[in-house]
Amino acid sequence: MTIYKVTVEFSKEFLEIKENQIKIGIKSKPLKGEANKEIIKKIANHFGVSSSQVQIKSGHKSREKIIVILQ
Q: Tens of pLDDT along 15-35?
A: 999 999 999 999 998 899 999
Fold of the domain built from segment(s) 2-69:
Conserved Hypothetical Protein Mth637; Chain: A; (3.30.1200)
| CB-based burial label for 25 (10 Å; 0-12, 13-18, 19+) | middle
Closest by alpha carbon to 24, among 59, 70, 53?
Answer: 59
Compute the distance between CA of residue 65 and CA of residue 56 in angstroms, rounded to an integer: 7
- Where are the domains positioned within the chain? 2-69
pLDDT score for 48: 97
pLDDT value, residue 71: 82
Dist. CA 53–CA 9, nearest whole Å: 23
- Give the percent of the chain with pLDDT over 70: 100
Mean pLDDT by 10 residues, the chain (71 residues): 96 96 95 96 97 97 97 82
